[in-house]
Amino acid sequence: MNIEVLEELKNQIIYRLDESTRMNTKSLSLISEDDVWKRVNNTSNSIGNLILHLCGNITQYAISSLGNTDDLRNRDLEFSIDKGYSKSELLEKLNTTLKEAKEIINKTTLEEYLRKREVQGFTFSGIGIVIHVTEHYSYHTGQIAFWVKQLKNKDLGFYDGVDLTIKNKD
């Protein structure tokens, strides 16, 4: 992998993280404070839990592992909390976590992207870590969007004003 490829990888990862953040911000703008902590049943997670979980996962993978700092995550707490954060506090926590993660993603060297390490019982290279962070964030962003659609019975307008029927060109 050369430096140009690494820079393109970093740019694409950060673009995808920013897209999920945009969608989560839009989703939260459409719900009430009470909606943040609603659960459809005892085995589901609230939007608040999902955001806390995303912060924990991004911290464990990108900030702690890729950034070479101590792993202080309490994963069980992310799912047991059922109040205590407002929509704005959750978004601030998410944005702060992502800001730090993106700084680490940008400054990580090629050697660190290729180095294997243990994270949450799995072995990943730095490349594997940023792929995990991106797909995990996107996965839960979809869950949040689905939950908001269920609560509000409306299209979320993520791509309002964009013609998504345009065909690919060479």
| Each residue's pLDDT tens digit, 12-58 | 999 999 999 999 999 999 999 999 999 989 889 999 999 999 999 99
Question: pLDDT tens digits for 79-105?
Answer: 999 999 999 999 999 999 999 999 999
pLDDT band at 3 (very low <50, low <70, confident <90, very high): confident
Residue 95 domain flag: yes
Cα gap 124→111, rounded to integer Å: 13
Residue 170 domain flag: no
- Domain of residue 143, CATH code: 1.20.120.450
Residue 157 domain flag: no
pLDDT band at 142 (very low <50, low <70, confident <90, very high): very high
Residue 162 domain flag: no
**Residue 1 pLDDT:** 67
Residue 160 domain flag: no
- For residue 170, give every residue at least 6 positions away whose Cβ sits within 8 Å of its Cβ, in sequence order, or none: none
Q: Considering its fold, how many domains does the chain have in total?
A: 1
C-alpha closest to that of 133 among 146, 115, 120: 120
Name the 3-class secondary structure at 116: strand
Residue 158 domain flag: no
Percent of the chain with pLDDT over 70: 99
Residue 164 domain flag: no
Name the 3-class secondary structure at 82: coil
For residue 133, give its domain range.
Answer: 3-152
